[in-house]
A and B are shown apart, each in its own frame.
Chain A
Amino acid sequence: MTAASSATATGARPVGGNARRSRAVRLTVRGIVLLYLALLLLLPVAMVFIRAFEGGIGPVVQAIGRPAFQAAFWLTVQITVITVPICTVMGVVTALAIARRRFPGRAVLNALVDLPFALSPIVIGLSLFLVYGTNSPIGGFLADHGITVIFAVPGMILATIFVCLPFVIREVVPVLREIGTDQEEAAYTLGAGPVRTFWRVTLPAIRWGIVYGVILTTARSLGEFGAVAIVSGKISGKTITLTTHVQERYEAFDIVGAYTASIVLAGMALLVLVGMQLYQSGRLHRGSSDDAPSSLMLEPVSTAGSRTGGGI
């Protein structure tokens, strides 16, 4: 990579052999990367689409029309619609506490936030089962008051929130640290209280961190399987989400049903990503000058390419 780009930089000299070699290196690197992406990302996803539509569009439409699919789809949507706002608001509040406040236990809290990343979703599911199951004190207390958590939607939402908890926090904390406290302090000296400073200064400065965190949260919340599967009990028509529906259809040898649910899941994720890209490019065209931190990966590929001399 370095060899290729440095050779390109000096390659203007008419030394044929050198230029030819650097071109060969560049094409080889490019080929390897494309093959890697194709084998790991493109091919599997494409195969799902191909297999789903093997028998034409009819079976797919039919599979979508089935009540079991409809129930699973709307349950997934419902869980996501509840999870995302909770994770976003609590995520921003937690991020502010970690990045802006000094209090005893801050380091512990900071480490604790990563727990959902470290734990297997199965373990998360089982641990929720232990706390909120009807055999436990908390679960029993809630059950006595008519609230069923495990094997019901509340437990599934809890599991999804648990799994999605770190995304917004981990996106927003670095942005908060990067922008520093200067702008907030400037707002204070200009007469803005903490609340107005948050809405008018801090929030606009971290909004790209939040947007990216929300996208990750949404994608994960749509696609979560392990933890949700454990606490749901997979009660047909009641606690089956799209992901568990895929598994259930697959095990019932309903291949078209499984692939149909899969492409719907993939389609929803794609929609989220495309929506983000549109939002992003809309912002670029409006010419607003604040840059989303580069860690947010949304840089147009062309600039990245031209900067490294088209190494790949």
Chain B
Amino acid sequence: MAIRVEGINKRFGTFTALNDVSLNVPDGQLTALLGPSGSGKSTLLRIIAGLETPDSGSVFLGDRDVTRVPPQQRGIGFVFQHYAPFKHMTVRDNVAFGLTIRKRPKAEIEHRVKELLQLVQIEQFGDRYPAQLSGGQRQRMALARALAVEPEVLLLDEPFGALDARVRKELRSWLRRLHDETHVTTVFVTHDQEEAMDVADTIVVMDNARIEQVGSPRDLYEHPANEFVMSFVGPVTRVDESWVRPHDLDILTEPTENATEAMIERVVYLGFEVRVELLRTDGSHVWAQVPRDQAESLELTRGQIVYVRPSKARVFSAA
């Protein structure tokens, strides 16, 4: 089911969390709300869920205006950052909660819960309590619990934020596969650009209570609307007035047209890539990312004088 928010404003005391925010999330898509902390992304998600009421503006799920509808009646599934497990219930009872509330027949609940536990691969832990699960297992339980009621919209608030790097990667691709199977409209909040790029069809970049740009991961990377988006979705280095991706900064050993002189300050080997930190004649610092074999063939070393030239650069008008 498509999500549409229009002209949302939300303040907490003197803090403006959302400033006239409008957004369309098409049906069946996996969308990421990406931004630094305090940018309003979680508030927007909570407003879509009905856990927060906007000061002004409207929320539509499909064609239905749900701005004044309580979360119970919105047909959503919500996964909390810290999973919010019901600590006094077993995993099975946690997952069954929504169905029990809806007074479904016992046999049906049992069947559905079994199916879901299998789907999230924790079927052997049904009789355990949340405290006896690992972080990743708890997160999957929270997902199963949200999916049990067959929501038309699945909302996830920093779903992998509290997990270690390996589990996070695993759950990420698992979420992507799950979405490809179920096609339920999904929105998740993250401050990790790599996570957003990895999982989402569409990324909504937020900063300072506003949406800065909406687009596909590739779109945002190659055609950022402003400096903030450019620096938030990938690495960036500044050459005079223009912003350059470090891998778009060529290093040449001979002077060429448009290339400027620089001295290598540091060469850092990061496995596949090499980071070269340079000092230009005007005293500014830039850095470049070059593949390992190129760094080796150019025999880049500290103190060496080279010439740098951006192959692709962007200039943003001063906003």
Contacts and interface: CB of A to CB of B under 8 A. Distances in A.
28 contacts: A182-B82, A183-B84, A183-B86, A186-B78, A186-B84, A186-B86, A187-B86, A187-B97, A188-B50, A188-B51, A188-B70, A189-B49, A189-B50, A189-B51, A189-B146, A190-B146, A190-B149, A191-B98, A191-B102, A192-B97, A193-B72, A196-B101, A205-B88, A288-B88, A288-B129, A289-B129, A289-B130, A290-B131
Contacts of B84: 182-183, 185-186
Contacts of A189: 49-51, 71-72, 76-78, 146
B51 A185 contact: yes
B80 interface: yes
B74 to A, nearest CB: 8
A290 B88 contact: yes
B129 A290 contact: yes
Contact of A186 (B80, B129, B148): B80
Interface of A is mostly: helix
B73 to A, nearest CB: 8
Interface of A: 182-183, 185-193, 196, 200-201, 204-205, 288-291
A201 to B, nearest CB: 6
Interface of B: 49-51, 70-72, 76-78, 80, 82, 84-88, 97-98, 101-102, 129-132, 142, 145-146, 148-149
Contact of A289 (B72, B76, B131, B149): B131
**Complex A-B, nearest 3 residue pairs according to Cβ-Cβ distance, in ascending order:** A289-B129, A182-B84, A190-B98
Given A190-B145, A192-B72, A182 B98 contact: no
Given A185-B78, A186-B86, 18 more contacts: A185-B71, A187-B86, A188-B50, A188-B70, A189-B51, A189-B146, A190-B97, A190-B101, A190-B146, A191-B98, A191-B149, A192-B101, A204-B86, A289-B131, A290-B88, A290-B129, A290-B131, A291-B131
Q: Which of B82, B97, B142, B149 has the most CB of A within 10 A?
A: B97
Contact of B87 (A183, A187, A192): A183
Contacts of A291: 131
A182, A189, A192, A205 pick with most chain B CB within 10 angstroms: A189
B82 A201 contact: no
A26 to B, nearest CB: 34
Given A201-B86, A289-B129, A191 B72 contact: yes
